[in-house]
Structures are given as structure tokens and as C-alpha cells.
Amino acid sequence: MSEVHKFIFEGLPVRGVLVRLTDAWSQILQRRAANTTTGAYAQPVQNLLGEMVAAGVLMQSNIKFDGALILQIAGDGPVKLAVAEVQSDLSLRATVNLQTDVKDSATLSQMVNVHNQGRCAITLDPNNKFPGQQPYQGVVPLFDDSGQPLQQLSAVLEHYMLQSEQLDTTLVLAADGAVAAGLLIQRLPVMGEKNLAGSMVSQDNEDQIGLNEHYNRISILAKSLKREELLTLDVETILRRLFWEETITRFEPLQGDAAPRFACNCSRERVARMIVGLGQEEANSIVAERGDIEVGCEFCGAQYRFDAVDAAQLFVAPEQITEGVGLRH
Ligand SMILES: [Zn+2]
């Protein structure tokens, strides 16, 4: 089963999170494989998306935030857009939109950063936004400070955390066809509560970046964790092997009902609003050409079909829209 484990290093300004996704991750892969239009993911795409989902859960469970954390990679290669979305309750969904096929041997930069134009965006979209409130978004390139393409998603996200949050962060990520997993180690700020949703950055904290010996030691231990170990070992074994010389305090794990799980919040109403957004002329021309409008959800595979009558009803008085849509729900 999927699980999240949080811990702190006793007496040190360092905390950690370990996530293992099994059923939640399998659901995403199974739904994609069942999609007759797209078929299953090529292995490198699957592994990238799994790492994104694991990273999304690590980041979401590491902040106090009510809303969606959306991790997106807009690629300039075969992968056009990869999205992992994790809600505060750790329900999640993810999908990849492909431009062309991906070779089994493809590296990260061959998939998403062929011309060094790829971008990674982290969006925090709060629930219950006040009118006019925009989601917070941070964007980082997929190359390092010297312009060299990064070959690991973990390096991209560490870069992001350092740039936009002024926080030393170590990430180890791995995914295969059965497990998506990750380990996050983070230095706690010297003063105040500083995280993705926070705002206080003290001078003292900035002065500490890269210099805290405890964080640096624990980071090196974390980085020694091999991909195979992260994918195959249980949480107890991983923590014992890595940190047996440290004193760790663990929190109640998030598992069972509190565990990360697959959920899609698409609906016929949302699709209806999207069709209305296309405009009546465009909607009519699709109906004229195909006989109906059929929209599939890329996240869960649900199909929403609007026949000529349904489509026409979307463009009558607003109070009739919900009724017309609701009839077939
Ligand atoms: Zn859906």
C-alpha cells in the first residue's frame, strides 16, 4: 500500500520525508494502458512521471497548504507536457502528453530538453481562492547554472527549492512499473517558519545555505541510497541503513485512509464549461463533422459524450445548462 513517513533528526535543523506509492501509482499506469488512443507509457516516460508523482507527494506533505500542488514539465522534445497534481489530502493524478514516440533508451534531456528550452513549473493553487487571486507559480529551467542540461528530475527540483525557497534540499527519486518512491531531506530555516507557502526568509537562513555541517552529512547519507534500494526495500530498512548513526524521531505515518491515493476530479460539468468556452460556432462545426462532441479525460480515461441536443443545450440560458448536463450524469 502507498505510504508517507515524516521524521526529524533529533536536535538538528534537519527533517525528512519518505514516500512509497504502490496502488496509487499502479492505478495511473493501468488507466493509461487501458486508453486505446494512447496506449501504455514507454518505460522512460513512465519512470519520469513516477518520479514526478513521488516528488509531488513529498513536496505537498512537506508544506502546510490547503490546495493543489501541481508539478509540470513543459518539454521541447517528444514529451510535450507531463503533469503530476497532488491535493492537500494526498489524492493525486498525473498524465503525460506526447508529441512523438519516446525511445526506450531516452534520457531526461532527450525527452523534455532537446533544445534546452524545457521548463519545470511548480504551482500552488489554493482552495477557496478570494476573487482575483492567482495561484502561486515558480518556474525553473532544465539546465544548471553553467547551462548544462540536468539529467535527473531530482536535480531540477533541488535547484528550484534553493532558488525560490532558499532551502537546502536533497531529493532521491525512483520509479518503475510497480513503485514510485522518493526521499526528501531538508534543512530547517534558522528562524521562522519557511516553506513553500511561507514568506519569511531571514538573512541568517540565507547565510546558512550549503554550510550547515549536519545537513551536509545527512544529505550525503541520503544520496548514497541507490535506486534499487529505494524501489525494493521497506521504509524501516531504508531509514536504518542510511541513518543508523543518527537519532531520528518519527511521526505517525500516513497510510491506510490517510495514504496518497489516485483520484480524478474531472466531471461532465467541467467538460461542458470547456465546450462553452470553445464557442457555439466551433461546437456546432464539430457536431456537424462528427455527429457529437466526445472529450476524454487524459488523467483517468473517462469519456464525456455530448450529442447534438446536449451540445445545443449548452448554449441556451445558463440556468438550463446544469439541468441539461445533469440529465445524463
Ligand atoms: Zn478524469
Sorted by where each begins, the domain ranges of the chain are 3-262, 268-326
- CATH number listed for the domain at residues 3-262: 3.55.30.10
Distance between Cα 271 and ligand 1 center (Å): 10
N-to-C CA span, the chain = 32
d(CA 188, CA 203): 14
Distance between Cα 295 and ligand 1 center (Å): 10
Q: In terms of pLDDT, which residue wins out, 293 or 195?
A: 293
The residue-averaged pLDDT of 303-314 equals: 92
Q: Which residues contact 252 (CB under 8 A, 6 or more apart)?
A: none
Distance between Cα 135 and ligand 1 center (Å): 21
Distance between Cα 267 and ligand 1 center (Å): 7
pLDDT single digits (tens) 78-94 = 999 999 999 999 999 99
Instruction: Note the pLDDT of residue 130.
Output: 87
Distance between Cα 83 and ligand 1 center (Å): 13
Q: Which residues contact 271 (CB under 8 A, 6 or more apart)?
A: 295, 297, 304, 306
pTM for the predicted model, two decimal places: 0.89
User: Is residue 32 scored above 60 in pLDDT?
Assistant: yes
User: Is residue 226 scored above 90 in pLDDT?
Assistant: yes
Mean pLDDT estimate for the chain? 90
Instruction: Note the pLDDT of residue 329.
Output: 37
Instruction: Note the pLDDT of residue 316.
Output: 85
Q: In terms of pLDDT, which residue wins out, 325 or 228?
A: 228
Q: What homologous superfamily is domain 268-326 in, according to CATH?
A: HSP33 redox switch-like (3.90.1280.10)
Distance between Cα 321 and ligand 1 center (Å): 21
User: Is residue 207 scored above 70 in pLDDT?
Assistant: no
- Is there a shared CATH topology between the 3-262 domain and the 268-326 domain? no
Type of residue numbered 252: E
Cell representation of residue 203? 538573512
